[in-house]
Each structure stands twice: as C-alpha cells, then as structure tokens.
Amino acid sequence: MKKSIQQGRKKASYLAVLLALNSMAANAEPNDAAAVNQQQELAEVKVKSTYQAPQDGYQATKTRVGKVLQDPHEIPQAVTTITNSLIRDQQLGSLKEALSNVAGLTFNAAEGGRAGDNMMLRGFYTFGDIYLDGIRDTAQYNRELFNLEQVDVLRGSAAMLFGRGQAGGVINQVSKMAKLQDSNKVTGSLGSYDYHQFTGDFNKVLGETTAIRLNVMDRSEENYRKNPANGDRPKIDRDGIAVSFGTGIGTDNEFFLNHVTTSTKDDPDFGVSFFNKRPVNRTVNGQKIDDSVYYGGSNNFDNSNTSITTAIFTHKFSEDTQLRTQIRDADYKRAYWAQKPSATAVPTANYENTGAVTRQMRYQTQTLQSDLSTKFELAGFKHQLLTGIEYLKEQNSRTSLLDLDSSAGKFYDESVVSSAAPTKFDADNYAVYVQDTITLAPKWDVLFGLRRDELRADYSSATSPKLSYGENSYRSALSYHDTPEAHYYVSWSDAFSPTADLYQLTVAPLPPERSKTIEAGAKWLFFNGDLAFRSALYTTTKDWERNTDLESTASVLTKKRRTNGLEFELAGRITDKWEVFSGLALMDAEILEVAENINAGVLTSAFAGYKNQRARNTPPVTFNIWSTYKLTDQWKFGLGLEAKAERLAYNPSSPTAGSTFTNGKFDPNTAPGYARLDAMLAYEEKKWGVRLNVKNLLDKTYYDALYDNGSFAVPGNGRTAIITTELKF
C-alpha cells in the first residue's frame, strides 16, 4: 500500500511538472519576426559552444571522452559511441542495455557488493572506469539512459586522462544539457511482462543565453523467469528526474548547473547455478530447474537512491584557449536482499532453502576537476596542450542487514542493519596531468601525456588500516593523417590504478595495478564522411590484477594477465535511407602468472594450473550489428544481432584446483555462446511517431552475465514486444 501511494505521488509530481512546462510554452511570447531571427542566430552560436549537441544518426561527430571537445576520428585510440538515435531506435532503458552494442564487452553479475553496472571490456574490469561527464562515477548502482545524450567508450588504458585507469577502457556517460532552442518530447511505452515506461524531455529558453532543461523517467518491467512456489518474477522499478540550467550559453563565460536523482525498487535476480559445468538443467524432487526458475520473490528488494549535483564553468580566453572547471557532489545510497540460486534444492515461497545476500551501503564523493586547453606555435611546431588538476574525496560505509526472522524465511528490512561494525574507508585522491599534441609535419602528429596520482586512505580494517600510493601514468601516440578521411595511429600507455575501494583488505601492501597497452589502428570516413570504419590491433598486459569483491582477504586475482585483440567497427549512413552500427572483436585472453596473496602474514600462491589458461568472462569472439532502412519517408524497419562465443566462469586466485580442474584438466564452469535477434518497425511524422520493438525475436535462451567467482549465470530476457508512442511539441 505504501509503495502504491509513493508511486501515485511520484506520477502526480511528474504530471504537475508537465502541466507547468506546457503552460510556460503556451505563455511564451516570441511570435514576432525579430524574436524568431534572434533564436535562429543563437542556435548558430550554440554549435560553437563547449557542450555536446545531440547527433542525428549512429555516427558520433563530437565527443569529450578525450577531455576536450573533438571529433572521435581524430583521437589516436579506439572510440565507440552509442548515440541518442541508436538508444531511441532500439528502445533502450539502461546503461547495460546500451553497452550490449559494444563489441568486446561482457557483463558480470553480483559479487562482493558489486551488484549493479559491472562490465568487462577487452577482458578487464571497468568498475573503476565508469564516468559521468568526465568525472568518476564508480558507485555500484544501475544507471538509466533517460538523461544521457550519448555514451562514449574509450578503449585501452586511459589513466593519463582520467586516473585510476583499468586496462580495458573508459565508459563515459554524456548528460543532456540545457540548449538555446525550445523543444519538448514525451514518450509512453507498453510491452510484454508488464513493461511500461514514460519519459519526458523539456527544454525552455529563458533569455538570450539562458535555458533550462528537464528530463523525467518512470520505468517498470518483469521477465519470463518465475518462482514456481509463489509465482513471483524478477522486477525492475525505476524512476528519475534531471534538471540542467545553463546561462552564458555560447559566450565566453558559460555556466551549467546540473542535478540528477534516480531511484530503484527492484526485485533482484542472481540467476541460476551451474550443474555439470553448465547452467543448471535438471529435475529435483519432481521440479524442473532451468533458466526459467527464479529463486527470489516480491519480498526481496534492491532499493537505491542516487543524487548527483554538478556545476560546470567554462571561460574562453580565445577561440583556441579555454579553462573548464567542474565541481560535483554525489551521494549514493543502496540496500538489497537477494537470494542465491541452487542446483540441488527447489525454490520455495519463503526462500528458506537458499542463501540470502544482504547489504546496506552509502558512498559519498566530492570532486573538483579543472582543465586548461590551448593551441599555440613554439619552435616552429604547432601544439595542442591540455593540462589539469583533480581532487576526489571518497567516503564509503557498508554493512549487512539483520535477519529479523530466520524461521519464517530470512526476512530483512533495508533500515535494520546487523550488529557487526560497518566496513568503512575515507580516501583523498590528488592528481595533476599534462598532455601535448605536436604537429611535426602537415600530416604527422605526436602525443605525449603524463599524470601523477596520489592516494591517501584510512580504513576500518584492523589488518590494513591505511593505504598510501603515488605513481605516474603515461600516454603517447603517433598519428598519420594521410587524407582528411584517413587516420592511422600507433599508441602506447602505461597506467597506474590506485583505487580506494579495490585495496581495502590487502593484509600487507602489495604493488599497485598497472596496465600497459600497445595499439595500432586505422580510421576511415566514406561517403563524404557519412560512414565511419575503424580497426584496432592491440595487446594489453595487467600486473597485480585486483578482485572486485570489496571484502575479499585475497584481493589479487592474477599477478600478470594479457589480452591480445583485433577489433572492427562500422557506424553511420550507407545511403540516405540505410544506417548501420556494427562491431567485431576477437580476443585472446591468457593468465601469464598466477596470483600471489598475503594471508595471515604468509605468502599464498594460486594453483599453478591456472597459468596459461583463458581468462574468465572473455569470449574469443563477440559480434553485433544493428541496421535500419527507411521504406518510405515515414516507415522505417530495423534488424539487429548480438552474438558472443562461450565464456568461462571460475576464480583464478584459488590456491587449490577445486572443481575447476577435472583429473588435472582445466574444466571450468562455462556459459554457452549465443546469438540474439532484435527487430523494429516505426512510423514517424515530424511531430509524432509510433514504434514497435521486439527484443530476442526468436525467444532464445541465453546468459548475458556471469557471477565473478563462477557460481551463477544470469539469463537474458525472453522475447519482449514493446510499442512506443512519441510526441514532440
């Protein structure tokens, strides 16, 4: 009852906002020719401003993933961008759904409190490499797309640019910003398994250089899996509101104040167990246990509240020189109670046959980041200089929930914690960085970058109460621009990864993670720049790879690991009617040296048999393609394929062979490969449209996420049909 009242109030508040904005639009004056001309002139100024304007199509032409606004074609590293058009056509709701379009990326399920967005890129973790508008957004929660203009993925080590870099790459979410153009759009969607979503995007010009933008979202859905004992299904229930206020837009002094709040009230799903090294498919006590069986229920919960406020000020000294400063305060609260699946016991109505996983956590950050970029000539050479400073304050507290009534089925309340002392850390991160791109000749550029990171952290752990790291990260590249349409490059990076939430229970100080990447790539533009094609050949080596489990006493997973890979990507228009977005990634991931950990003062090595084995959750091949074709001016048809080869699931830091080896042979749990089809049919007018999306068109059973230590696999959704109406005014 309480939940229904809250939802009613929430929807009522959204309706009030819509009515207010509609009234504002109705009462706005400029009907005269002078006002119209003024708005047209301001729109032209906006193109030159420092924020990203929305892009029309699947090929991105602007990105800030390299710290400054630039064309991704010019960046000497592999870059993948999920544009707003792709998000819209595929009817995507979450960041996880969007990243399914990124070749070489896989998903992890919950582990050690890291339930939420948890991806691997090029075979390496990205939990420390998720960013929002260039600022670290590492908290573990489920991110939504309603307030994002695009998602940029900068592949390879990027610690010189961002600090604390993992080996796979950076995932940067780009927020929707206030703009100098009145526009309003609302969408409503209904679909299978009680899917429904409402979104609103409203922008109002308040003055010559001032505007405000509001984005709202409410989304809920279930899936095909069900607990046979109580009929409950996993559920997603999420909402959000975001405001962007901008003034001085397009001038030499530009200021934005952004705020976003999201909340989730999910019924979480830990997936299914493995049996005989494959996802369970057997009968226990007359009950079939397979991918369709859900072990939780409506009493479980995954509730979170995220609040992020960011102020951005940009001062242009000239067209070539600007100072951009961001200040952010972020507060992430989360509590959950989930059920572990079982391969030996059938689910029950009160979940008493499986283990409960509980957590209550709060993560707070304050960030100051300032970048100065300029262009100049020195000693006969052209320079593009980027330099900056960064300060990040982290405070984290987490504990488990109290079992209120174990005899009645392990019931928990998100506000009632256990008597155990919470696990805490308090960290200060400092950084300074500089990068210079020098034009050696008309077609040749060379890039050099250096970053210094210092980390100081205090912990509640008695075994490792303090952490202090300070090291350099490096980045360099050589680019050859044969023509404006062809860019060839070789890049190298050596990245240091100090992260407070990765080192908490290291019993004795061990060397920090470092990642070295060498990449050779080529980028081409075809059809007058409408179609972009890129390729990249790389090798990445990571030393002292850490565990994602925040409370693991054996924090090191491998001492040395390497991924060699080859990637291809295609994005843009082939003709005026035909668009495509596609990627192919080939990965050879191997453990070169097994883990070393210090437990109770004793050095413990992982089982020697893990050496030279394929790394977990890193398929040798991934492929994706999404293509749309305009049948007429109004009708558009789309078809997509996502495919991954089999992935391994095991814990490489175990000191014994365990069940991962059978008769001395490497035989880990394995998630089978899969290929999934999606389709779309849309009818679009200038002011309105209707779209039908069918996800997993052939209703294939597949597993899109693996639990880190290899125990569970989470099935993807079954066939889901969604119809969406869109109104612009």
Give tens-digit pLDDT for 535-576.
Answer: 999 999 999 888 765 555 667 889 999 999 999 999 999 999
CA 169 – CA 157 distance, rounded (Å): 5
How far apart, in Å, are the Cα atoms of 81 and each of 63, 131, 517, 569? 8, 14, 21, 11
Which of 295-304, 348-357, 437-446, 522-531 has the weakest average pLDDT? 348-357
Contacts of 26 (CB under 8 A, 6+ apart): none
Domain ranges of the chain: 1-31, 32-728
CB 117, CB 109: distance < 8 Å: no
Beta strands in 442-485 (DSSP E): 444-459, 466-483
3-state secondary structure 626-692: EEEEECCCCEEEEEEEEEECCEEECCCCCCCCHHHEECCEECCEEECCEEEEEEEEEEECCCEEEEE
Average pLDDT over residues 485-501: 82
User: What confidence score (pLDDT) does residue 351 get?
Assistant: 80
- Could you tell me the pLDDT band of residue 471, with boundaries at 50, 70 and 90? confident
Q: Which residue has the higher pLDDT, 647 or 66?
A: 647
Nearest Cα to Cα of residue 342 among 407, 290, 406: 290
Question: What digits encode the pLDDT tens for the residues 85-105?
Answer: 999 999 999 999 999 999 999
Question: What digits encode the pLDDT tens for the residues 495-541?
Answer: 877 555 555 455 667 787 888 999 999 999 999 999 999 999 999 99
pLDDT at 70 over 90: no
Fold of 32-728: Maltoporin; Chain A (2.40.170)
User: What confidence score (pLDDT) does residue 470 get?
Assistant: 86
Q: What percent of the chain has pLDDT over 90?
A: 68
Q: Is the entire prediction scored with pTM above 0.85?
A: yes
User: What confidence score (pLDDT) does residue 420 get?
Assistant: 87
User: What confidence score (pLDDT) does residue 342 get?
Assistant: 92
The sign of the dihedral angle between the CA atoms of 630, 631, 637, 638 is negative
Q: Phi-psi bin for 356: left (phi > 0), alpha (psi -120 to 50), beta?
A: beta
CB 214, CB 183: distance < 8 Å: no
pLDDT at 484 over 80: yes
User: What confidence score (pLDDT) does residue 163 get?
Assistant: 62
User: What confidence score (pLDDT) does residue 176 get?
Assistant: 97
Question: What digits encode the pLDDT tens for the residues 631-643?
Answer: 999 999 999 999 9
State both tokens at 15: 């309706």
- Helix H or strand E encompassing 45: helix 33-47
- Could you tell me the pLDDT band of residue 159, with boundaries at 50, 70 and 90? low
What integer best gives the mean pLDDT of the chain?
87
* CA diameter of the chain: 84
